[in-house]
A and B are shown apart, each in its own frame.
Chain A
Amino acid sequence: MINTTATIAGVSFKNPIVMASGTFGFGREYGRLYDVSLLGGISGKGLTLHAKAGNPGIRVYETPSGMLNSVGLENPGVEAFLAKELPYWETLDTARIVNLGGNTLADYVLGAELIQRDADARLLAGKPAVDMIELNISCPNVKEGGIAFGIKTPAAQEVVRAVRAATSLPLAVKLSPNAEDIAEMAVMCEAEGADAVSLINTISGMKIDVRRRRSVFNNLYAGLSGPAIKPVALRMVHQVSRRVTIPVIGMGGITSATDIIEFIMAGATIIQVGTYNFMNLRAGSTLVEELQQFMEEENISSLDEIRGIV
Chain B
Amino acid sequence: MATVISNERLAEGVYHLVVEGGNSGEMGQFYMLRAWGAYPLLSRPLSIHQVNDNGVEFLYHIVGEGTEILAGLNPGDPVELEGPFGTGFPQVEGKVALVGGGIGIAPLYYCAQKLPRSDIYLGFSREPFRTEAFRPLAAELTVDVGGLILDSVDFSAYDHIFVCGPHPMLKAAQLKGIALDTAGKRPDVYLSLENRMACGIGACLVCSVSCKDGQRKACADGPVFLAEEVLFHD
Q: Using a CB–CB distance below 8 Å, which chain A residues touch chain B? A: 22-25, 29-30, 32-33, 45, 53-54, 56, 58-62, 64-67, 69, 71, 74, 226-227, 255, 275, 277-279, 281
Identity of the chain A residue whose Cβ is nearest the Cβ of B207 in the assembled complex: A59
Query: Sorted from nearest, which 3 A-B pairs have the closest CB atoms?
Result: A25-B203, A29-B201, A278-B198
A53: chain B residues within 8 A (beta carbon): 208, 210, 214-215
Q: Describe A's contact surface by its main secondary structure.
A: loop
Most chain A C-beta atoms within 10 Å of own C-beta, residue among B38, B199, B203, B207? B203
A160 to chain B minimum Cβ distance, whole angstroms, is 27
Sample (23) of A-B pairs whose CB atoms are under 8 Å apart: A24-B203, A29-B201, A29-B202, A29-B220, A33-B82, A33-B201, A53-B215, A54-B205, A58-B196, A59-B206, A60-B196, A62-B40, A62-B65, A65-B39, A69-B198, A69-B206, A74-B215, A275-B41, A278-B199, A279-B38, A279-B43, A281-B82, A281-B199
Interface membership of B115, Cβ < 8 A: no
The answer to whether B41 and A226 touch across the interface, beta carbons within 8 angstroms, is yes
- B39 contacts A23, C-beta separation under 8 Å: no
Q: Are A62 and B202 in contact (CB under 8 A)?
A: no
Nearest residue (CB) in A for B203 is A25
Chain B residues in the interface with A (C-beta under 8 A): 32, 38-43, 65, 82, 196-208, 210, 214-215, 220, 233
Of all chain B residues, which has the CB nearest A64? B39
Q: In the bound complex, how far is the Cα of B32 from the Cα of A74, in angstroms?
A: 23
Q: Are A66 and B199 in contact (CB under 8 A)?
A: no
Contact of A67 among B41, B43, B207, B208 (CB under 8 A): B41
A29 touches B203 (CB 8 A): yes
Closest residue of chain B to A26, judged by CB? B203
Q: Which residues of A contact B43 (CB under 8 A)?
A: 278-279
Q: Is the CB of B233 within 8 A of A65?
A: no
The verdict on A62 contacting B208 (CB below 8 Å), with A29-B199, A29-B203, A53-B215 known, is no
Closest residue on chain A to residue B39 by CB atoms:
A65
Supply 16 further A-B pairs (C-beta < 8 A) apart from A59-B206, A62-B41, A71-B208.
A23-B199, A53-B210, A53-B214, A58-B196, A60-B204, A61-B196, A67-B42, A69-B204, A255-B38, A275-B41, A277-B199, A278-B41, A278-B42, A279-B41, A279-B43, A281-B200
Q: How far is the CB of B216 from chain A (nearest CB, A)?
A: 11
Q: How near does chain A come to B225, taking the closest CB pair, in angstroms?
A: 17
Which chain B residue shows the least CB distance to A256?
A: B38
Contacts of A59 in B (CB 8 A): 196, 205-208
Contact partners of A67 in chain B: CB under 8 A: 41-42, 198
State which of B41, B200, B207 has its C-beta within 8 Å of the C-beta of A66: B41
Closest residue of chain B to A27 (Cβ to Cβ) is B203
Q: Which of B205, B207, B220 has the most CB of A within 10 A?
A: B205
Give chain B residues whose Cβ lies under 8 Å from the Cβ of A33. Answer: 82, 201
Residue of B nearest to A277 (CB): B199
B180 to chain A, nearest CB (A): 29
A33 to B215, CA, bound (A): 24
A152–chain B nearest beta-carbon distance, Å? 28
Residues in B with CB closer than 8 Å to A60 are 42, 196-198, 204, 206
Q: How far is the CA of A114 from the CA of B204 in the complex (A)?
A: 25
Report the Cα distance A64→B202, complex, angstroms.
Answer: 24
Residues from chain B with a CB closer than 8 A to the CB of A22 are: 204
Q: How far is the CA of A279 from the CA of B214 in the complex (A)?
A: 28
**Residue pair A65, B199 in contact (C-beta under 8 Å):** no
B residues in contact with A62, CB < 8 Å: 40-42, 65
In the assembled complex, the CB of B105 is this many whole angstroms from the nearest CB of chain A, namely 25
In the bound complex, do residue A277 and residue B203 qualify as a contact, i.e. CB atoms below 8 Å apart?
yes
Among B43, B197, B201, max chain A CB count under 10 A is at: B201
Q: Which residues of B contact A281 (CB under 8 A)?
A: 32, 82, 199-201
Alpha-carbon distance between A69 and B208 when the two chains are bound, in angstroms: 13
